[in-house]
């Protein structure tokens, strides 16, 4: 099926569709100005329908990288009908088919230029602004699709049958068990979110906790939750940069923080953790990692979309970079555990919740923000499922200590001796 070539856009889209069908067979219908549309494959009913609203939307489709398609969607130049899982799958297939040798070369050159010219200093004011942009959308918005404790990081599905709520509690317990938190110990949670980890550490493990965040919304709600639990004497929530903490702690947790620190700053970040960690203490870094050994962004421009619309200044290190900078920062990595499958499942739960609460969420944020988060959640799910990104928990302590203070096995991490 072809559009009537009544305009240059019609003719260009017809030619593009003909070339694409030679390489790809997808159940997609592309419509321009509400016309009958172009089929991009052999099918009776389309799984995805793309409505091009203007020439900018057409240009994005003709150069279908993930950042081009994502930008056109969130800015309203493209409308998409279909399940969100089908939409992201088709977007990746279009992006892959729309590339070529020149496109791959340009993408590689672009990554190298950005790597060499990286000017992200991650000053305190820049980091505060980035955190505000992402986390201060509204507490009500996040509460709609997160679990009741509002844990905004990878859950831990011990058997794969847990609910999201159960898996998030298991994740927190998994972290605190790895750290062997004992009653009366002081724990610092860097990037404490809405307070779920410090609440659990105080209530179930008897720790005295300090949680820090740069998000005003998180600070206020976490403070309210501590007060409601009657734990003001054991938990302190601070609106504070990690670089301004001066005390020492028996245990330190860093969950979802290293992604915001910046590749150039990871060694200094881990050095601060080292300096804040008491002799004999333990720390755990839980963070998203790149699966590219050179810390490159994800394929087809997905990383650029997230940097522009979701996580300003976010940078993903490869696990090798995490381990080497951690060691140079004065810490000894004792255990590293991949939770890639767990984050794919977590994001599926979030995305399913987001889709189910779609109309209610639209009342909380504008259409652009709703579109951004919709594509971000399912896009990240796809990336974890397809080994584009991963997540590791790294248990560590101050380097240079005696081997006799190390456990013989990993049993203690799972409730054993």
Cα–Cα distances (Å) from 394 to 56, 221, 323, 335, in that order, read: 44, 28, 8, 6
Residues 96 and 389: their CA atoms lie apart, in Å, by: 17
Residue 128, φ and ψ in degrees, nearest 5: -65, -40
Distance set, CA 129 to CA 125, 312, 413 (Å): 6, 9, 36
**Distance of alpha carbon 136 from alpha carbon 156, whole angstroms:** 25
Q: What share of the chain is helix, strand, coil (3-state, %, to 5)?
A: 50, 15, 35
d(CA 361, CA 211): 28
- Neighbour order of strands in the sheet with 249-255: 235-239, 208-213, 186-190, 249-255, 277-290, 389-398, 331-338
Per DSSP, 288 falls in state E
User: What tokens appear for 336 in the block?
Assistant: 């590293």
> Which residues are 210's β-sheet partners?
188, 236
Question: Strands 208-213 and 186-190, how do they pair?
Answer: parallel
Beta strands 249-255 and 277-290, pairing class: parallel
DSSP string spanning 134-189?
Answer: HHTS-HHHHHHHS-TT---S----SSS---HHHHHHHHHHHHHHHTT--TT-EEEE
Strands annotated E in 364-413: 389-398
Alpha helices by DSSP H, listed for 181-243, are 196-205, 216-228
| Burial (0-12, 13-18, 19+ Cβ within 10 Å), 261 | buried
Q: Catalytic positions, please?
A: 380
In the beta sheet, which residues pair with residue 50?
30, 80
Element (H, E) at 29: strand 28-32
């Amino acid at each position: 099926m072809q559009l009537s070539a009544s305009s240059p856009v019609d003719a260009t889209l017809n030619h593009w569709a003909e070339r694409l069908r030679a390489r790809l067979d997808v159940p997609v219908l592309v419509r321009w100005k509400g016309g009958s549309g172009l089929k991009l494959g052999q099918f009776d009913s389309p799984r995805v329908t793309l409505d091009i609203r203007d020439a900018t939307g057409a240009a994005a489709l003709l150069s279908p990288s993930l950042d081009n398609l994502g930008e056109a969607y969130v800015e309203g130049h493209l409308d998409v009908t279909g399940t969100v899982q089908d939409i992201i799958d088709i977007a990746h297939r279009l992006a892959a088919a729309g590339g070529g040798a020149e496109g791959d070369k340009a993408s590689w050159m672009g990554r190298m230029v950005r790597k060499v010219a990286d000017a992200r200093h991650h000053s305190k004011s820049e980091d505060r602004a980035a955190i505000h942009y992402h986390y201060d959308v509204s507490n009500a918005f996040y509460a709609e699709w997160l679990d009741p404790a509002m844990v905004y990081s990878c859950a831990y599905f011990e058997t794969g049958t847990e609910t999201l709520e159960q898996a998030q509690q298991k994740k927190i317990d998994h972290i605190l068990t790895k750290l062997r938190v004992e009653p009366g110990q002081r724990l610092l949670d860097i990037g404490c979110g809405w307070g779920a980890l410090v609440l659990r550490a105080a209530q179930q493990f008897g720790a005295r906790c300090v949680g820090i965040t740069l998000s005003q919304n998180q600070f206020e709600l976490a403070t309210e939750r501590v007060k409601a639990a009657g734990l003001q004497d054991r938990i302190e929530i601070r609106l504070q940069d990690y670089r301004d903490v001066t005390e020492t702690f028996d245990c330190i947790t860093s969950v979802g923080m290293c992604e915001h620190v910046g590749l150039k700053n990871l060694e200094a970040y881990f050095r601060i953790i080292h300096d804040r960690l008491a002799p004999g203490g333990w720390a755990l870094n839980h963070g998203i990692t790149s699966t590219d050994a050179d810390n490159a962004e994800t394929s087809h421009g997905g990383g650029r979309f997230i940097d522009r619309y979701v996580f300003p200044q976010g940078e993903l290190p490869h696990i090798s970079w995490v381990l080497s900078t951690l060691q140079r920062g004065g810490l000894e990595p004792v255990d590293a555990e991949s939770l890639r499958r767990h984050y794919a499942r977590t994001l599926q739960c979030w995305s399913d919740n987001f889709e189910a609460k779609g109309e209610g969420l639209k009342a909380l944020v504008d259409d652009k923000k709703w579109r951004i988060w919709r594509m971000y959640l399912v896009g990240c799910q796809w990336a974890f499922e397809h080994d584009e990104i991963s997540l590791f928990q790294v248990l560590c302590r101050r380097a240079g200590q005696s081997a006799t203070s190390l456990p013989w096995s990993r049993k203690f991490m799972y409730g054993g001796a």
